[in-house]
Amino acid sequence: MAGAVESCVHCGFCLPTCPTYVTMGEEMDSPRGRIFLMKEVLEGQLELETALPYIDNCLGCQACQTACPSGVDYGDLITPFKAYAEQHRERAPMDRVQREMMLRTLPYPRRFRAAARLGRLARLLAGRLPEPLAAMLRLLPARLPKAEPLPAVLPAEGERRARVALLAGCAQQVLAPDINSATLRVLARNGVETVIPPGQGCCGALGMHTGAADQAKPMARRNLEAFAGVDAIVTNAAGCGSGMKEYGLLFKGAPEHDAAQAFADRVVDVSVFLDALGLRQAPAALARPVKVAYHDACHLAHAQGVRSPPRALLQAVGGIELVEPAEWELCCGSAGTYNVERPDTAAELGERKARNLLATSAELIATGNIGCTTQIQTHLGALGRDVPVLHTVQVLDRAYAGTLIPASG
């Protein structure tokens, strides 16, 4: 942490990219302000309680890291600081209940599916529940898609060009199971055999990014074992990918560190993997031009530095005209559990993102993270607009199948 603190020269270049600084306008709600606060707490100059409201406001989007000319590794600072803060803070009872409910539900697909079903019934009572619980219920989708069980392995079509393992994910499996199915189909079509190791579990990113390192570590250990012996671990959720790329940091100084770092080095987003491999055959050109806006998920663009590969894959589809929304670097407000913990700021950011995307006149929005998909869909809906939001691999999959443009479109 000390290295990251010392490399900040207080230049302020990060300020316009920080969603909390942009919406709240407070120095202490900027990256520079938070770095100062964390330093003061760690040096014993400031009470943790004084810094916590500003630390809790941080979305962990890492836009500041992308903007910083001095190379401040903000992720290396905020993740361990949140873990430190969690060990030393007193949470209010309702705050504890909300946090425990999320940590004990979201990372487990079966529990999440059951909770989502119960939650839809409980929404009828939302007006009588405490606000934190009501905020959780409001986020549940009106309908859940049917589960799509995954095979143990999906062979490559034609000559095999690569063999990878897929992280199946947690909430995404429940909210949008088609993303995994589309990933498998697109990989197979491009000569990739995919195994889905049965022993895998949640990547632990939710715990890591909310200070619950004690929950994240056993999850990470389970994955270290489940994915042993594969060359590449492909993910299609930016939050999971960035979490797994932090396994080395999670086990810093621990006996597992080297294995965890080796694991992290094998993690690759599906867009990066496919772009590097090269599509064996591009999908047939669309029957008419379609404007597609690409939304950069923070955990892909900022945390992993991935911006070109998904764009290159989308542009491989003849007829797609890629358009760029204003303020690409600003978080949509989803950020893990942020829209439950800070619903007002999350909603402000969600609406701002939806308006920027609509201003492109795109017919379709592509992105690489389920949290962003859900948040953007919610805010497009609130504005009365029904623009489809798909993962990049879903766009490719539908383009290959000839179903990207509805028959009536």
- The answer to the question of residue 34 lying near ligand SF4 (CB under 6 A) is yes
**Which positions from 280 through 299 interact with ligand SF4, judged by CB under 6 A?**
none
Instruction: State the minimum distance, in angstroms, from the CB of residue 33 to ligand SF4.
Output: 8
* Residue 356 DSSP SS3: helix
Instruction: State the minimum distance, in angstroms, from the CB of residue 4 to ligand SF4.
Output: 9
CA-closest candidate to residue 340, choices 374, 366, 368, 367: 374
DSSP code at position 390: E
Residue 34 or 295 with smaller CB distance to ligand SF4: 34
Residue 212 or 395 with smaller CB distance to ligand SF4: 212
Going by their DSSP bridges, the two strands 192-195 and 153-154 should be labelled as antiparallel
- The answer to the question of residue 328 lying near ligand SF4 (CB under 6 A) is no
- The answer to the question of residue 60 lying near ligand SF4 (CB under 6 A) is yes
Going by their DSSP bridges, the two strands 162-166 and 153-154 should be labelled as unpaired
Among 59, 156, 176, 372, binds ligand SF4 (CB under 6 A): 59
DSSP code at position 127: G
Among 61, 168, 234, 370, binds ligand SF4 (CB under 6 A): 61
Contacts (Cβ under 8 Å, ≥6 apart) of 149: none
Contacts (Cβ under 8 Å, ≥6 apart) of 320: 286, 289, 290, 292, 314, 395, 399
Residue 14 or 238 with smaller CB distance to ligand SF4: 14
Among 2, 3, 6, 11, binds ligand SF4 (CB under 6 A): 11
Angle at which helix 308-315 crosses helix 392-401, to 10 degrees, equals 10
CA distances 40 to 51, 53, 80, 229, Å, are 9, 15, 15, 44
Dihedral sign from CA coordinates of 168, 373, 174, 212: positive
- The answer to the question of residue 64 lying near ligand SF4 (CB under 6 A) is yes
- The answer to the question of residue 31 lying near ligand SF4 (CB under 6 A) is yes
- The answer to the question of residue 352 lying near ligand SF4 (CB under 6 A) is no
Residue 177 or 336 with smaller CB distance to ligand SF4: 336
Among 12, 155, 158, 318, binds ligand SF4 (CB under 6 A): 12
Instruction: State the minimum distance, in angstroms, from the CB of residue 55 to ligand SF4.
Output: 9
> For the chain, how big is the Rg over CA atoms in Å?
21
Which residues sit at the interface with ligand SF4, rule CB under 6 A?
8-14, 17-20, 31-32, 34, 58-64, 67-68, 70, 72, 74
